[in-house]
Amino acid sequence: MSSQRDGGTSNGGERAAVEAHLTVAAVAARLGVAASTLRTWDRRYGLGPSGRAAGSHRRYSQEDLARLETMRALTERGVALGDAARMAQQSAPVPDALVEDLDALSLAAAAIDSGHDRLVTVLRASVGRRGLLETYLSRVEPAFGILADAERSDVPGHEPEVAVTAAMLEIVREHAALAAPSVDGEVLVVGEGRFPLSAHVLAGALGEHGVRARVARPRADGASTHHGCGRAALAIEIHVVGGTRVEVNRDECEHDLMLVGSHADSGVVAHRVRTLSAALPEALDVLASRASAGEGEA
């Protein structure tokens, strides 16, 4: 019994090793180039597969794939093959200006066919060009719509919408780590669902403007309640809502409330905006007004 279990574990490890390395055909399909191009890059520039699975041909590791993605991105932007190969070999990061700027349709296709690193690279470049919020509104959100409407089947373990969400969240975290708060007052953004990406993006966009922001989610029963009552530093609580029921008691809270999108409780006293793009300038205006009022009282 023990030897069978050990043998099963060994075979499983061998299978995992094979799956972790890609064939020439698989890499060519991911990059959208001919297999002969990969062989040429291997022969001329040394950008070939570094791994070999037992009893099989040489295979590309994830590190090999990352170098080839760099090579392809640079050559598409007109960089000479030799220079692109040197940058790829050195694992030099590709400048945002040289990374392909995918539209929503291309991003949806990349979500189906590409790995995490590729999605992070193209989304990071988009954010560098147009900011977190505009990337979400003009690229990510439309890509979600395209994926939802597409008739497709996915390989086990890969969910394109989740892949895009994970890539975008990684970029939001990067921006949050670099943010330098310069505005008085904190903002709490409450999203919908298990993974409220839009709330994280809005909080990240506020961080780009020097605002300290955190993200919360509704209760398990679907109601969106005030999370920040009693927090002295809290200036605004923003609810990014669709059909969520908003339950508040304004007598218990001193901070401002903002509702973004459609909502059920029309009687709630709050700042109201219809779109996520309008929420950012509105929140900044509210913070500025609170700061001015505080200076006047002082």
Residues 21 and 47 occupy one common structural domain = yes
Residues 207 and 159 occupy one common structural domain = no
Q: Specify if 121 maps to a domain.
A: yes
Q: How many domains does the chain have?
A: 3
The CATH number given to whatever domain includes residue 207 is 3.40.50
Tokens of 246: 């908003």
In angstroms, rounded to a whole number, what is the distance separating the alpha carbons of residues 250 and 214?
A: 21
In angstroms, rounded to a whole number, what is the distance separating the alpha carbons of residues 197 and 172?
A: 10
Residues 42 and 29 occupy one common structural domain = yes
Residues 193 and 265 occupy one common structural domain = yes
Residues 71 and 135 occupy one common structural domain = no
Residues 191 and 291 occupy one common structural domain = yes
Residues 212 and 257 occupy one common structural domain = yes
Residues 26 and 116 occupy one common structural domain = no
For residue 192, the model assigns a pLDDT of 77
| CA distance readout (Å), 89 to 47, 75, 193 | 7, 14, 42
The domain boundary residue, chosen from 120, 151, 176: 176
Are the beta carbons of 208 and 234 closer than 8 angstroms? no
Average pLDDT over every residue of 33-52: 85
Helices (H), the chain: 2-19, 24-31, 35-45, 62-76, 81-89, 104-113, 116-130, 132-135, 141-149, 160-178, 197-208, 276-297
Largest CA distance in the chain: 80
Q: Specify if 66 maps to a domain.
A: yes
Are the beta carbons of 260 and 241 closer than 8 angstroms? yes
Average pLDDT over every residue of 135-157: 91
Over the stretch 46-88, which tens digit does the pLDDT of each residue have? 888 876 554 556 788 888 888 898 888 778 767 788 888 888 8
Domain containing 117 equals 100-176
Q: Specify if 18 maps to a domain.
A: yes
Over the stretch 177-216, which tens digit does the pLDDT of each residue have? 888 888 888 999 988 776 689 999 999 999 999 999 999 8
Q: Full-prediction pTM beyond 0.85?
A: no
Q: Is 222 left (phi over 0), alpha (psi -120 to 50) or beta?
A: left
Residues 26 and 74 occupy one common structural domain = yes
Residues 45 and 106 occupy one common structural domain = no
For residue 210, the model assigns a pLDDT of 92
Residues 82 and 16 occupy one common structural domain = yes
